[in-house]
Amino acid sequence: MTSDLIVFILLALIAVASALGMAFSQNTVYAALYLVLNFIVVAVFYLLLGAPFIAMAQITVYAGAIMVLFVFVIMLLGVQSLPPAKTLPWQKPLAVVLAILLAVESTYLLLSRAPLTQALAAPDASANTTSNLQQMALALFSEYLLPFEITSILLLVAMVGAIVLSKHEKKAGSGNGLG
């Protein structure tokens, strides 16, 4: 129990530090890398909570696919260092208000819903079995089939949209191999 607590506190420190680093770093590539670190730490949190599938999905999808594309775009555009930010006049007070709101809300939820000892309770070993994974898949494809399918249609629409936007008119006779 105590070893879990030590691991948790260390990880939490890393998570907060990397999030701050992301927010305050002037170089966009460094910011993106801080975010990757943050995603990985969050994945380790999921592992601590006994959810290996979500942990791996987090790394594969966020740290692996999405952030790689971010880094890719940053490098291609060559916008490594940010110019001094131009903010709208009402943006800063609004941000402060919203941040305070979020902090209050999450503190309230944390204190009311889950006492600190309960939040750190060790997961049972059933989380790391194949049948657990199969149950999750079954729930995803039966109970939550509609949201699942809607999400996939949304992704399909996004993909078609990206292809249409990036497609430029080709002159007749100019094609490349394997087309």
Partner 1 sequence: MDWILWLEWFLKGLILCLILLGGFAYLTWYERRALARMQVRVGPNRAGPQGLLQPIADAIKLVFKEEFTPAHVYKVIFVLAPVLTVVPSLVLAAVIPLGTSFNLFGRTIHLYVSDINVGVLYIMSIAAIGVYGIVLAGWSSNNKYAMIGGIRSTAQMISYELALGLSIAVAIIMGNSMNLVEIINAQKDGWFVVAQPVGALILWIATLAEVNRAPFDMPEAEQELTAGYHSEYSGMKFALFFMAEYQKMIVVSMILATLFFGGYLEPAFLHGTFLSVDAVWTIGAWQFPAWFLGPIYLFIKVVILLFVMIWVRATWPRFRYDRLMSFGWKILLPLSLAVVFITATGLLLQSEYNNALYYWSIPVLSIISLLICVVFVNRDLRRKSYGRV
- Residue ranges binding partner 1 (CB under 8 A): 29, 33, 36, 40, 52-53, 56-57, 59-60, 63-65, 68-69, 71-72, 75-76, 128-130, 132-133, 174-179
**What single-letter amino acid sits at 175?**
G
Tell me the closest approach of the beta carbon of residue 30 to partner 1, in angstroms: 8
**What single-letter amino acid sits at 133?**
L
Nearer CB in complex with partner 1: 119/136: 136
Tell me the closest approach of the beta carbon of residue 84 to partner 1, in angstroms: 21
Nearer CB in complex with partner 1: 11/52: 52
Tell me the closest approach of the beta carbon of residue 86 to partner 1, in angstroms: 26
For 83, which DSSP code? P
The CA–CA distances, whole Å, from 98 to 105, 109, 113, 117, 175 equal 10, 16, 22, 29, 52
Nearest in space to 71 (alpha carbons), one of 38, 40, 27: 27
Nearer CB in complex with partner 1: 93/177: 177
Tell me the closest approach of the beta carbon of residue 43 to partner 1, in angstroms: 8
Nearer CB in complex with partner 1: 24/108: 24
**How many other C-beta atoms are found inside a 10 Å radius of the C-beta of residue 34?**
19
Cβ atoms of residues 22 and 34 within 8 Å: yes
Cβ atoms of residues 43 and 58 within 8 Å: yes
